[in-house]
Amino acid sequence: MFKKSISTFILFLLTISYAYGDKVKVGMITTLSGGGSGLGIDIRDGFALAVKDEPNIEIISGDDQRKPDIAVQLADKMIQSDKVDIITGIVWSNLAMAVVPAVVNQGKFYLSPNAGPSLLAGKKCHKNYFNIAWQNDNLHEAAGGYASSAGFKNSFIIAPNYPAGKDALTGYKRFFKGSIENEVYTKLGQTDYAAEIAKIRASNADSVYFFLPGGMGIAFIKQFSQAQVDLPLVGPAFSFDQGILKAVGDAALGVKNTSQWSKDIENAENKKFVEDFQSAYGRLPSLYASQGYDTGKIIVSAMANASIKDMDAFREALKNAPSQGFKSTRGKFSFSSNHHPIQDIYVREVVEENGTLTNKLISSGLVDHSNFYVDQCKM
Amino acid sequence: MSLQLFIEQLLNGIQFGFMLFLMSAGLTLIFGVMGLINLAHGSFFMIGAFSASFVAGLTGNFFLAILASLIFPALIGIMVEFSIIRKLYERDHLDQVLATFALILIFSEAIRYIFGAFPLFLDIPNILQGNILLPGEIVYSKYRLIIIIIGLFIALGLYFLINRTLLGIQIKAGQNDRQMIRVLGINISRLYTIVFAIGAALAGLAGALIGAIQSVEVGMGEPVLILAFVVIVIGGIGSIKGALIGALLIGVLDTMARLFLPIFFELIMETSQALSLGSSLASMSAYLLMALVLIFRPTGLFGKK
């Protein structure tokens, strides 16, 4: 009798926790070695943290080494021999452009935890493609809006000469009401900005906006500060993220930057995420980690409401996750018709907190912000 | 554009050139003396920056950090020369490329394993922060001026070493005829180790000096390595003088192209196209120069034959 009731109880537990007990295989293609690996490692760790209590998710990881051809090979291998259901993890827009169309056309889901190139939001959008982070232009649009509201009239803007760099400056200009003193495109991967900073010093600009992800941004902020150019600097969160602030040092203090996430956004989910991440990995989470975490949680939520075997139902469950139990670390979150987030984008300031440089929220820049490409997307 | 801005940019170009010189001097020496194509040279740049960052973090002293950026890469260079590189001298270039490429991967992952995947912090000391007023109302960064001065001293030092010391004579002899100097009873393997260590130390120094104004991260050496190869092809493989002239040419050309090409194209076409085309062409300028030099002087400006 006792045995029987125990087994019934266990059976009962099983039925509630695994409404649809089908295993979901997730292919995690991200940058784990070489330059830029900090971003990929954060996405992977955030994702793993989100799904650690969900035994029906199996993660298969692969290191794309930041190279499009390797990412494509990994995706092929994961789809053909590992038979994954969902692929996620890619950090860089150029890699996403190489991988995503092939993945979604083969009837697999792709959930982007970072890259959001405009083409995938607009003309090349797809019903199996979801972006959990942002459309590439979003943070820059918020920065343009912030610069206007801060009273800047004339900006010097700078970005690398590649598609995401052009998207960035386009996004900034879309929401900035002032004039543009000069628009400079630098070589991708350039790390010496002496020539550009001399130009900035000689210009009549009253503010500088830059989008220089990774090491480029570290180099730019340090050199800008060392050159003692007395102009306010505005940037997207990428150059002021937790992993980067350590390397930039005090040069970043006081700089305003825009982000959809910050570790001090007040909601229960975010509080739990920041605490769990710190205790699991011994470091503060970055926005990349939060995006990986949200991606994991969306999958967990969709699994509770649909079976991966039924693609249409699972797609609906992903799309409706924000109203069916998924709670984003960012607070308000829903999907636009082209499967990109509708969310608030905040303005943060770099401050020193107990001897560590970090970000503090100072205002909400854009509220319930969607993206510019919704109308171009025909699913 | 004011004259001051022009001169400031010229100085920026020269500073960039001296940084490239530190990298390419070692590369060209190693190729000239041992006939070795060393792709792992960029790794010593990275090791220099990481050792400097590590020592600066421990002691808070920038000058000790710079010292560390010379010593650690030299020691690691000696170890690598002893254990791996030595076996490659008699092999063909393709084997050398393969083996030293493997070294890049090993060094990068080892550094990531030790220091983690996130960039490290290294800043210039307070007394070198900020600008200095040069004659003619030119405002210029103190630290970059120091890089120029260090570069000048290293160039002079190498000139002295090659032309005035016994070691220099052996190096020159080694470049001319490896067989002969072995026959003359000179300890060639010791010479090779010394040259390799000097090359590694110079790359490490460049890494630390540059790491302080850029970012200290895994993989930071490879972009510089590519330009250093361009420099030694332009200057003539094996020639220190060629490396110096080549590095300064590339440094100034690259900086000036970034400054003037977008302005130039704006005169003849629409702004957004001009900016994009100008900056694309500017990033190609070093390679265009290399192509030109190869057409007219296939062995480089100061190459033999």
* A4 φ/ψ sector (left φ>0, alpha ψ -120 to 50, else beta): alpha
Tens digits of per-residue pLDDT, A64-78? 988 999 999 999 999
CB A26 within 8 A of CB A88: yes
What share of chain B has pLDDT > 90, as a percent? 57
Stretch B123-145: mean pLDDT: 87
Which of the residue ranges A242-256, B172-186, B206-220 would you say has the lowest mean pLDDT?
B172-186
Q: Residue A198: list chain B partners with CB under 8 A.
A: 5, 8-9, 12
* A353 φ/ψ sector (left φ>0, alpha ψ -120 to 50, else beta): beta
What the block records as the tokens of A18 is: 């695994």
Task: Give the separation between CA A170 and CA B219, rounded to whole angstroms.
Answer: 30
Task: Give the separation between CA B173 and CA B169, rounded to whole angstroms.
Answer: 6
Stretch A230-253: mean pLDDT: 89
As a whole number, the mean pLDDT across chain B is: 90
Stretch B9-30: mean pLDDT: 93
Contact criterion met (CB < 8 Å) for A243 and B131: no
Q: Which of A95, A92, A113, A143 is nearest to A48 (CA)?
A: A113
Contact criterion met (CB < 8 Å) for B108 and A228: no
* Domains of chain A, CATH where assigned: 2-134+265-335 (3.40.50.2300), 138-259+345-376 (3.40.50.2300)
Q: Residue B125: list chain A partners with CB under 8 A.
A: none
SS3 A362: strand
Which of the residue ranges A211-225, A358-372, B45-59, B272-286 would you say has the lowest mean pLDDT?
B272-286
**The predicted structure's pLDDT at residue A4:** 61
Chain A touched by B119 (CB under 8 Å): yes
- pLDDT of B276 above 60: yes
Tens digits of per-residue pLDDT, B100-117? 999 999 999 899 889 987
Stretch A315-325: mean pLDDT: 93
Q: How far is CA A84 from CA A25, A28, B151, B209, in A?
A: 5, 10, 54, 47
Q: Is the dihedral of CA B95, B97, B100, B101 positive or negative?
A: negative
Going by pLDDT thresholds of 50, 70 and 90, the confidence category of residue B175 is confident
Selecting from A185, A187, A223 the residue whose C-beta is nearest the C-beta of B213 gives: A223
- pLDDT of A8 above 70: no
**The predicted structure's pLDDT at residue B111:** 93
- pLDDT of B186 above 90: no
- pLDDT of A20 above 80: no
Which of the residue ranges A145-149, B134-138, B194-198, B248-252 would you say has the lowest mean pLDDT?
B134-138
- pLDDT of B272 above 90: no
What share of chain A has pLDDT > 70, as a percent? 94
Contact criterion met (CB < 8 Å) for B16 and A194: yes
**The predicted structure's pLDDT at residue A16:** 47
Helices (H), A81-214: 93-105, 118-121, 138-149, 163-175, 194-202
Stretch A230-248: mean pLDDT: 89
Considering the domain boundaries, does residue B175 fall inside one? yes
Contact criterion met (CB < 8 Å) for A219 and B215: yes
**The predicted structure's pLDDT at residue A9:** 55
Q: Residue A37: list chain B partners with CB under 8 A.
A: 112, 117, 218
**The predicted structure's pLDDT at residue B130:** 84
Considering the domain boundaries, does residue B295 fall inside one? no
**The predicted structure's pLDDT at residue A294:** 97
Q: Which residues contact B14 (CB under 8 A, 6 or more apart)?
A: B148, B248, B251, B252
CB A112 within 8 A of CB A371: no
- Nearest residue on chain A to B210, alpha-carbon basis: A192
Stretch A168-195: mean pLDDT: 91
- Domain encompassing residue B169: 8-124+131-225
Tens digits of per-residue pLDDT, B28-71? 989 888 889 999 999 999 999 999 999 999 998 999 999 999 99
Which of A243 and B89 is assigned the larger pLDDT?
B89
Stretch A159-172: mean pLDDT: 89
Considering the domain boundaries, does residue B254 fall inside one? no
Whether the ipTM is more than 0.90: the answer is no
Pairs of residues, one from chain A and one from chain B, whose beta carbons lie less than 8 Å apart: 124
Considering the domain boundaries, does residue B210 fall inside one? yes
**The predicted structure's pLDDT at residue A1:** 52
**The predicted structure's pLDDT at residue B42:** 95
Q: Which residues contact A354 (CB under 8 A, 6 or more apart)?
A: none
Chain A touched by B60 (CB under 8 Å): no
Task: Give the separation between CA A99 and CA A68, rounded to whole angstroms.
Answer: 8
Selecting from A185, A214, A227 the residue whose C-beta is nearest the C-beta of B279 gives: A185
Q: Residue B8: list chain A partners with CB under 8 A.
A: 198
**The predicted structure's pLDDT at residue A258:** 95
**How close, in Å, is residue B233 to chain A by CA atoms?**
21
**The predicted structure's pLDDT at residue A15:** 47
What share of chain B has pLDDT > 70, as a percent? 99
Contact criterion met (CB < 8 Å) for A215 and B2: no
Going by pLDDT thresholds of 50, 70 and 90, the confidence category of residue A379 is confident
- The tally of domains found in chain B comes to 1
Q: How many other C-beta atoms are found inside a 10 Å radius of the C-beta of residue B270?
A: 9
Considering the domain boundaries, does residue B60 fall inside one? yes
- pLDDT of A38 above 90: no
Contact criterion met (CB < 8 Å) for A38 and B118: yes
Contact criterion met (CB < 8 Å) for B220 and A227: no
Considering the domain boundaries, does residue B67 fall inside one? yes
Q: What is the pTM of this model?
A: 0.82
Q: How many CA atoms lie within 13 A of A108 on its CB side?
A: 25
- Nearest residue on chain A to B271, alpha-carbon basis: A183
Considering the domain boundaries, does residue B143 fall inside one? yes
As a whole number, the mean pLDDT across chain A is: 90
- pLDDT of A99 above 90: yes
Highest mean pLDDT among B148-152, B189-193, B296-300: B148-152
Going by pLDDT thresholds of 50, 70 and 90, the confidence category of residue A17 is very low
**The predicted structure's pLDDT at residue B170:** 87
